[in-house]
Structure 1
Amino acid sequence: MAKKREHIAEAEEIGYDSWWLNNFSQLPLRASKARQIAALKNDHEWQENHMNEISRRIDQLIQRIESE
């Protein structure tokens, strides 16, 4: 069975969905250590939550393909 275009599109969307260290990158060059650490912790938390969402989306795509 060939891959369906909609499945390919969803898989590509999932693959492109990534996050740069946005909070950290927005800090000024002279940001204190405390601000750098806080920004990295925020980026880490977002990244972790985001990866859980990506995993859920992959699971949903698998289930959709299996059920068709």
Structure 2
Amino acid sequence: MQLTLEVNGMSCEHCEKSVKNALNSLEGVHGVNIDLDSGKVDVTFDDAYVTKAMMKEAIEAQGYEPVG
């Protein structure tokens, strides 16, 4: 499956790396693409292992705010 999340607070490569590493550490996440300009995070994942809520929690743990 694929999901696009909007994340507030990302502004640099460090932000991008933090969010990407947090999501990639979740079992079932296969790919993460981030567009810093738009704040969009595209996640490819297996919904048998990971949920949107789990992804949002991982992003929040890094200090960023997922919207929606």
Tell me the TM-score normalized by structure 2. Answer: 0.31
The structure whose residues are more often helix, as a share, is 1
When Rg is computed on C-alpha atoms for both structures, the one with the higher figure is 1
The structure whose residues are more often strand, as a share, is 2
